[in-house]
Amino acid sequence: MPTKILDRRQVLECLPMRDAVEAVEEAFRAFALGEASMPPKVYLPIPEVQGDFRAMPARFSRYAGLKWVSSHTRNPRDHGLPAVIAVFVLSDPETALPLALMDATALTERRTGAAAAVASRHLAKAHAKIGFVGCGAQARSVLEAHRVVFGDGFEVLAYDKDPAAAEAFADEAGGRVASLEEASAVDVLNTLTPSRTPIVEADALLPHTHINAMGADAPGKRELALDVLLSASVYVDDPKQALHSGEVNVPVRDGVYVEADLAGTLGEVIAGLVARGEGRTIFDSTGLAIQDVAAAARAFERARLQGLGLDVDLLNREI
Ligand SMILES: NC(=O)c1ccc[n+]([C@@H]2O[C@H](COP(=O)([O-])OP(=O)(O)OC[C@H]3O[C@@H](n4cnc5c(N)ncnc54)[C@H](O)[C@@H]3O)[C@@H](O)[C@H]2O)c1
């Protein structure tokens, strides 16, 4: 049985955003219903570059898989490389055969954007104005996924501490550069920075603002002031991961926020097990391995159907 190798271009071709949104929504629902398994991700810090690697295994549907992914925040500035660089191994759980090896930088972008848009679909009360704080790689896929879910009829407000990044993103999105306050006073706010100090304050938000807090995905990271968390119903992707490394990790470590303060998980809302909160809502996303397996399975199945990718006999049992 050959192993299919897919590069970035092939992953993007075989995983249209529409499919990524569908796959990720289904993975969240299955996880909430106990139909998928996923141990918490393992972190390998690389302190000298303020980065880290994560190993993310999961089993979902007819597949098992592992993502090996970086968060090297200095990469764009120091090396002209993405902060997030990743590869994915997709396996058959029954035989353990490696079905595919693929670029997972594209996979991560697609499934991260998809998760934010799925959260907005289930938690946001309106979507006429969508704000972005942090206008890097993930912001682009978060925007694309929101277009899949909501169409084109929303205004994009872009803020980044690097004005050139905000300008470039606003241009691409057909939106406009905004102050932090303007970008926060919106129906849906996406925070997409590697910040370790709070950026968004409660005063700047509308009473019904839904926030996709995507940036905090490692211990010590945070983008929202404590008053934002306390003024909203907070839904996590996975409680264990969120308490360890999500938006709530620092307040939990400081003893000012506890697990019982959480409203539930996004999967529980999708599965109808928990109701959507009135007023402000937050999706605290750390990124789940089940999102990756679900997305990788779609890419693999489409690549097989279309005969794309390089088939390699990795195991070569004749030797
Ligand atoms: N939740 C998830 O599933 C998930 C998935 C992938 C990445 N991430 C995280 O999302 C974050 C962004 O990832 P990326 O790949 O887009 O990174 P990136 O480097 O491409 O973009 C980050 C942007 O944030 C801006 N920024 C940094 N600090 C800021 C601040 N204080 N205020 C305003 N803007 C600021 C930078 O100028 C840059 O434009 C990272 O922390 C990454 O680890 C989360």
Please state the rounded mean pLDDT for residues 162-169.
98
Give domain limits for the chain: 3-107+290-312, 113-288
The question of whether 67 is a catalytic residue gets the answer yes
Tell me how far the alpha carbon of residue 99 lies from the centroid of ligand 1, in angstroms: 31
CATH class of 3-107+290-312: alpha beta
Q: Whose CA is nearest to atom 27 of ligand 1?
A: 193
Q: What is the pLDDT of residue 1?
A: 85
Contact of 39 with 57, CB cutoff 8 Å: yes
134: Cβ below 6 Å to ligand 1?
Answer: yes
Contact of 40 with 244, CB cutoff 8 Å: yes
* pLDDT tens sequence across 260-273: 999 999 999 999 99
Q: What is the pLDDT of residue 58?
A: 98
Look at residues 304, 285, 289, 295 and name the one whose alpha carbon lies nearest to residue 107. 295
Tell me how far the alpha carbon of residue 215 lies from the centroid of ligand 1, in angstroms: 5
Tell me how far the alpha carbon of residue 1 lies from the centroid of ligand 1, in angstroms: 39
Q: Whose CA is nearest to atom 3 of ligand 1?
A: 287
Helix axes 105-123, 289-306, angle to 10 degrees: 120
* pLDDT tens sequence across 270-308: 999 999 999 999 999 999 999 999 999 999 999 999 999
CATH fold group of domain 113-288? Rossmann fold (3.40.50)
Q: Whose CA is nearest to atom 17 of ligand 1?
A: 136
Q: Which atom of ligand 1 is nearest to the CA of 287?
A: 3
